[in-house]
Homo-oligomer: A and B are copies of this chain.
Amino acid sequence: MKTLKYSRQRESIKACLMARNDHPTADALYTSIREEYPNISLGTVYRNLNLLVELGEIQKLTCGDGADHFDADTSPHYHFVCKKCGQVCDLPLAPMDDINHMAQKHAEGLVDSHKIYFYGTCKNCLENNC
């Protein structure tokens, strides 16, 4: 089997993601990591992000703006997406554990998880009439 080997790049990617409370795309993360590791490869960022998702250490958000976003917080919570500026942020709404069961009653297959994305206009865009 394939044993995981330490890499400072992977550590840096995870640390960098944990340090921010926005939910950056792979490319945005790549840009900020290059400040510390100027010649890290974009492929390395993508590969490690996917690996970390598989390991369950981070999660991937697909909110509909073309690029995937990443979140170091894997505990169940929801996200708000601004339709004007595209920012993605946490929405501290209590996780609805019951809705998988509610959905299960109406589903033919086996439901094991769900994602909710709320859409609207963020505070900043409201104030600046974007």
Q: Are B62 and A111 in contact (CB under 8 A)?
A: no
A4 within 8 A of B: no
Alpha-carbon gap, A41 to B113, bound state (A): 37
Interface positions, chain A 81-128, Cβ under 8 Å from B, are 82, 91-93, 96, 99-100, 102-103, 106-126
Taking residues whose C-beta sits less than 8 angstroms from the other chain, chain A's interface range is 35 or more
- Identical copies of this chain, number: 2
Q: Which of B80, B91, B109, B125 contacts A80 (CB 8 A)?
A: B109
A63 within 8 A of B: yes
Q: Which of B62, B111, B119 contacts A118 (CB 8 A)?
A: B111
Question: Which B-chain residue is minimally distant from A116 (CB atoms)?
Answer: B116
Alpha-carbon gap, A78 to B116, bound state (A): 10
Q: Are A126 and B103 in contact (CB under 8 A)?
A: no
Q: Are A109 and B120 in contact (CB under 8 A)?
A: yes
Alpha-carbon gap, A110 to B92, bound state (A): 15
Question: 13 other contacts beyond A62-B63, A80-B111, with CB at 8 A cut-off?
Answer: A93-B99, A93-B102, A93-B106, A99-B116, A108-B123, A109-B123, A111-B118, A111-B119, A112-B120, A112-B121, A114-B117, A115-B116, A115-B117
